[in-house]
Amino acid sequence: MIKKRDLSQEDKKTWEDYIKDPSDIYDKDKINQKENRKKRFKFDLHGFSLEDANKKVKEILFFCIDNKIKELLLITGKGIHSTNIKDTYISKEFGKLKFSVPEFIRTDLELNKFVVSINEAKVKDGGEGAILIKLKSL
């Protein structure tokens, strides 16, 4: 085992001065955190009715556009607890947020012009129970 040499007084002083003001340290985690905050907005729609969810989505989309956020992650759930199966007048598929919200965005001309794509989220982001909306850069 090699013994480390003792630090000189000059080296100790330099180190102590540096610790007092480490202004030139690059904190990549802090920078990445700021960048990610601008890139993606996340919102959970659990508990919203179809009508309320659509209103909220419209509000959130305009918020994201105004704040130059590139992606919107909407947590919709998979619809497995949906009670629309009991009502014969409600579509079994489009009564679920995971299907109706993307359709609402696609058919709303005011919103659609800001959207690049609407996809199911990756598994780590919620998979089948989430929608990832990519927005245009303005």
Q: Is the pLDDT of residue 135 over 50?
A: yes
What Rg value do the Cα atoms of the chain yield, rounded?
A: 24
Tens of pLDDT, residue by residue over 52-94, are: 999 999 999 999 999 999 999 999 887 545 555 555 444 444 4
> What band does 18 get if pLDDT is binned at 50, 70 and 90?
confident
List of domains in the chain: 40-135 (3.30.1370.110)
**Rounded Cα distance, 121 and 48, in Å:** 19
Q: How far is CA 111 from CA 23, 103, 127, in A?
A: 44, 11, 23
| 10 or 25, which is more confident | 10
- pLDDT for 24: 67
| Nearest Cα to Cα of residue 48 among 83, 78, 80, 76 | 76
- pLDDT for 91: 45
